[in-house]
A and B are shown apart, each in its own frame.
Chain A
Amino acid sequence: MQNTNNVLVDVQDLKVQFNLHEGTVHALEGVSFQIQHGKTLGVIGESGSGKSVTAQAIMGIIPSPPGKVTGGRVLLNLPENDASVRVVNVTELPPSGAEIRNIRGKEISMIFQEPMTSFSPVHTIGNQIMEAVRIHYPDVSKQEARDRTIEMMRRVGIPRPEERVDAYPFQFSGGMRQRAMIAMALVCHPRLVIADEPTTALDVTIEAQILELLKDLQAEFGMSIMYISHDLTVVGGVADDVMVMYLGLVMEQASTDELFDNPLHPYTEALWRSIPTIDGDLDRLTPIRGALPSPFAVHKGCPFYSRCEKRIPGVCDQSRPPMIEARPRHWVRCFLYTESK
């Protein structure tokens, strides 16, 4: 939607479904967005909104079966050494083929939510970080890979990295493990780091440190970040642009300041009202009414219809609202703004 040549990831009308035993889940129903070089895109949404599936689709690691990309493209614009740009469509690549494997971990890497379980318990931290270097740079010697690993561990703030490199994950605290995870994601200097709720499992002080670290690293290495969270304040703190997802659709998308100042979609407004602020009146926190619909439900109209306070019966439940640029560089998927345009 943003027309610049500075686009790294261009997701176009991506559709993913999961054919489960209980029925088909339409996890993504036509998601489009772009990530710019060196910028941070924040993705906000409840559980089941399709945030993580989007991330998996970009990496080409959607669990299949049961998951399947049924439409759309994920284009990566990878600058080559000779200043040309290599365009790769991830959805067309065989998911375990050599081409996508060369992109995973090297061009795009991922920081996962659960630092406790994301490492193999029986291999050393160093071994697991080094593996990424050894795979993507086959001509790098073992010693060199180890040195790079230690250097990256030092960079992410792990004390005494030359000793800790041989430690096992269970000897690390949660915060240290997440730092190790970040070191693993960054050791090959990727162009995009997808952070899938990286601080959810950590306590608040550690969370602040990790966020600070990510910002510093971005300033240093210049990579793009896709930051997935259900925590609005966290996303507001790190992201340049924000998109709000609900049940497999992008509901609203704008720069962070614009979105926080002028939330347009009733869902976004409702989300805003449900966060406590330090100076706000605690009594006036309003939860979003109703509950998330069943993941198996098929929505003819707007998926938020059943919970929306500004719904227009006969319109919103009949057809899916289009994405509209309601304000400059501010897109929203809602019938409330179709007239004003």
Chain B
Amino acid sequence: MLVYIIRRLVMLIPILFLVSFIAFFVIELPPGDWVSTYITQLRTSGIELSDQEAQRLITMYGFDQPAYMRYFKWVSGIVTRGDFGWSFQWGKPVSEVIAERLPITLAISLMALVFSWLIAIPIGIYSATHQYSLVDYLATFIGFIGLATPGFLLAMILAWAANQYLGFSALGLYSKEFLDKPWSLAKAIDMLKHMILPLVIIGMASAGSTIRVLRGNLLDELKKQYVVTARAKGVSEIRLLFKYPVRLALNPVFSTIGWLLPAIFAGEVLISIVLSVPSIGPLLLRATLAQDMYLTGSIVLILSALTIIGSLISDIYLAWADPRIRYGGLSK
């Protein structure tokens, strides 16, 4: 097992380099660059900018060098100093810009994930064990609604409803009066209140699909012979359910943690924009629009890296949970 993990980790290194190259290539793709856009902006807004001054800006940001030199500088900065480059738009290092938004993004994403599991797993299990009952139909109905309703629309409606009926402005992270205040208990409570809406909306969307996946898997498992075997042994129904079929039916649900990882890092873009939650998703959108190259590239790079690491985590989880994979992998 340990050998397997180490081997997979070593294999990550070349893949990550390839990913960084592609990320850089992608941000180099659009014509023009941030500095020339900036110079044009300055000139059109009437500011006198000499050619010499413009050249100084270009040199300063490294745009007089060929692309591969900038790539090399960027990657070596990341590897040696954890320096992801400079964000032109924010006027500070990329790592700082991301770090500012990371805690709130992670908090909301992880809590939404846990929230969605907390509602989806019991409902999914109940649905499968009581197939075609009233509750099953209800859960199916709600599940499809959750799947089919665009999150941003729900966000708009709920934000409006909260304001209209509860007199509570759900936008942003804090109420106006707390914006400039130092941290206090009241401010923390205020922030938690503001997180409820994004949590529920993001959680509901993924709960819908988790219910469907879990119900389907569990229905398959419940038909298997080993369930009858266990019943014939005298195992009680509830213990049987959780020891055998649920255990197997949850594997596909938990193994999706892998590709959820980048989503957890980025946060839900549209919902975050609608509710003005300062997470990383909207940041990426704005950075892309503004051709803030290193910020865009770094976020793309981190997302790709997380995808790769996530699938590694999924593989390790499955190897741990399913002996057929564990031993099959080792014997090779």
- Residues in A lying within 8 Å of B, measured CB to CB: 59, 61, 96, 98, 101-106, 109-110, 112, 114, 117-124, 128, 131-132, 135-136, 168, 170-171, 181, 184
Residues of A within 8 A of B244 (CB): 120, 123
With A122-B322, A168-B323, A170-B324 known to touch, is A184 a contact of B224 (CB < 8 Å)? no
Residues of B within 8 A of A106 (CB): 234
Residues of A within 8 A of B52 (CB): none
- Is the CB–CB distance between B232 and A109 below 8 Å? yes
Q: Which of A105, A120, A181 has the most CB of B within 10 A?
A: A120
- Is the CB–CB distance between A112 and B236 below 8 Å? no
With A112-B225, A112-B228 known to touch, is A121 a contact of B322 (CB < 8 Å)? yes
- Is the CB–CB distance between A122 and B237 below 8 Å? no
How many angstroms from the CA of A61 to the CA of B229 in the assembled complex?
Answer: 10
19 contacts between A and B (CB under 8 A): A61-B232, A96-B237, A98-B236, A103-B234, A110-B229, A118-B225, A119-B229, A121-B323, A122-B248, A123-B243, A128-B230, A131-B230, A168-B324, A170-B323, A170-B324, A170-B327, A171-B327, A184-B229, A184-B233
- Is the CB–CB distance between A122 and B232 below 8 Å? no
Size category of the B interface is 20 to 34
Among the listed B225, B231, B234, B322, which residue makes an inter-chain contact with A117, where contact means beta carbons less than 8 Å apart?
Answer: B225
How many angstroms from the CA of A109 to the CA of B233 in the assembled complex?
Answer: 7
User: How many residue pairs, one in A and one in B, have C-beta atoms under 8 Å apart?
Assistant: 79
B92 within 8 A of A: no
- Is the CB–CB distance between B232 and A104 below 8 Å? yes
How many angstroms from the CA of A168 to the CA of B325 in the assembled complex?
Answer: 12
B226 within 8 A of A: yes
Residues of B within 8 A of A105 (CB): 232-235
With A122-B247, A168-B323 known to touch, is A117 a contact of B232 (CB < 8 Å)? no
- Is the CB–CB distance between A104 and B234 below 8 Å? yes
How many angstroms from the CA of A323 to the CA of B236 in the assembled complex?
Answer: 39
How many angstroms from the CA of A128 to the CA of B247 in the assembled complex?
Answer: 15
**In chain A, what residue has the closest Cβ to B248?**
A122
- Residues in B lying within 8 Å of A, measured CB to CB: 224-226, 228-237, 243-244, 247-248, 321-324, 327
Q: A103-B234, A119-B226, A122-B247 are in contact. List 15 more A-B contacts (CB 8 A).
A: A61-B231, A61-B232, A101-B235, A104-B232, A105-B233, A109-B233, A112-B225, A121-B323, A122-B321, A122-B324, A128-B229, A128-B230, A135-B234, A168-B323, A170-B327
How many angstroms from the CA of A110 to the CA of B232 in the assembled complex?
Answer: 7
- Is the CB–CB distance between B322 and A101 below 8 Å? no
Rounded to whole Å, the gap between the CB of B131 and the closest CB of chain A is 10
Q: Which of B225, B247, B321, B327 has the most CB of A within 10 A?
A: B225
- Is the CB–CB distance between B324 and A101 below 8 Å? no
Rounded to whole Å, the gap between the CB of A192 and the closest CB of chain B is 12
Residues of A within 8 A of B233 (CB): 104-105, 109, 131-132, 135, 184
**In chain B, what residue has the closest Cβ to A96?**
B237
- Is the CB–CB distance between A168 and B230 below 8 Å? no
Rounded to whole Å, the gap between the CB of B222 and the closest CB of chain A is 10
How many angstroms from the CA of A233 to the CA of B321 in the assembled complex?
Answer: 43
- Is the CB–CB distance between B228 and A101 below 8 Å? no
Rounded to whole Å, the gap between the CB of A111 and the closest CB of chain B is 9
